[in-house]
Amino acid sequence: MVVLFVWAIGLFVPPVGALLWWKWSVGRWWMHLLFAPALVGFEYVLISGLFYATGDTGEGPPGLGLALLPLAAVFMLTAATYYTALTIRGLASLSGRGHEAALPEVHA
């Protein structure tokens, strides 16, 4: 049961955490630099917890290899999406459009 709980946390928390981190980082560029180390640390703790919960020491035949693939995919996609959005936002600011590039106006 603990394994499924840790696995579900690894799938759903990184994208939600990225959205919250983005919201907290607005106007503070140094917070964006801390996102990658925080995400790596979070994934390390989750994978260590998964190994601990299953009693797998990493020696012997691979037991958790396929179970870790979705967690690794979510980790990589979250980091790639976050920094792609940050790059697009930065380029929009440099081009002089600022917030208009990220939030288009809706005319009723």
What does the pLDDT look like over 12-26, one tens digit per residue? 999 999 999 888 888
Q: How confident is the model at residue 107 (pLDDT cuts 50, 70, 90)?
A: low
- Whether residue 6 lies inside any domain: the answer is yes
What does the pLDDT look like over 45-76, one tens digit per residue? 888 888 777 776 666 666 666 778 888 889 99
What does the pLDDT look like over 30-42, one tens digit per residue? 888 899 999 999 9
Checking if the pLDDT of 105 tops 70, the result is no
Q: Could you tell me if 53 and 3 are in contact, meaning their C-beta atoms sit under 8 angstroms apart?
A: yes
Residue 49 domain boundaries = 1-18+34-56+64-87
What total number of domains does the chain contain? Answer: 1
DSSP states along 8-20 = HHHHHHHHHHHHH
- Whether residue 47 lies inside any domain: the answer is yes
- Whether residue 68 lies inside any domain: the answer is yes
